[in-house]
């Protein structure tokens, strides 16, 4: 992605089969969809230049908090996705808390005092045959919408690791 320096949707799609292969070999792999809360309002009120800084703050936070085995990408607009192999629910909660805190710190470093945060939806890649990128994104997206419906600024997990998440 030219703005954020993160992989784009195409790169995410290219990396997905490797993550799915890990899941099929009994490694837990979390897929997290992230969305910047009230991003349209930031763009409308402060302009696209500030919106770009907000996107950069999230991208920088993801770069700092992802491991070499993880894959963080900007899919479109303010929609980001992260594949996190070999993590459990407690680790996922801790990662999200660190990400939220780091994002706020990055906004402050840019001098932005904005009423925004991160909503996130998570699903586990299934070890059952037939799980696809579109299926996994749809599950994570449903969890993301639940996070927004519950008041934003939180992570909603779709199912426990090891649960059959294929639909």
Which residues carry out catalysis?
78
**CA–CA separation, 145 vs 166, rounded Å?**
19
Are 71 and 12 spatial neighbours (Cβ–Cβ below 8 Å)?
yes
| CA-based nearest residue to 128, from 167, 78, 70 | 167
SS3 of residue 39 by DSSP: helix
**CA–CA separation, 73 vs 93, rounded Å?**
19
């Amino acid at each position: 992605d030219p703005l954020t320096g993160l992989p784009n949707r195409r790169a995410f799609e290219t990396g997905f089969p490797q993550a799915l292969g890990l899941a099929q070999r009994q490694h837990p792999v979390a897929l997290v969809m992230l969305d910047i809360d009230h991003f349209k309002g930031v763009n409308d009120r402060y302009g696209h230049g500030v919106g770009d800084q907000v996107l950069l703050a999230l991208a920088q936070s993801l770069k700092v908090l992802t491991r070499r085995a993880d894959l963080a990408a900007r899919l479109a607009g303010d929609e980001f996705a992260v594949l996190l192999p070999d993590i459990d629910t407690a680790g996922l909660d801790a990662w999200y808390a660190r990400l939220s805190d780091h994002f706020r710190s990055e906004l402050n470093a840019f001098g932005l005092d904005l009423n925004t945060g991160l909503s996130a939806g998570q699903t586990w890649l299934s070890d059952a045959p037939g799980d696809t990128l579109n299926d996994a994104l749809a599950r994570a997206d449903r969890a993301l919408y639940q996070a927004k419906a519950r008041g934003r600024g939180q992570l909603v997990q779709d199912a426990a690791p090891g649960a059959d998440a294929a639909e």
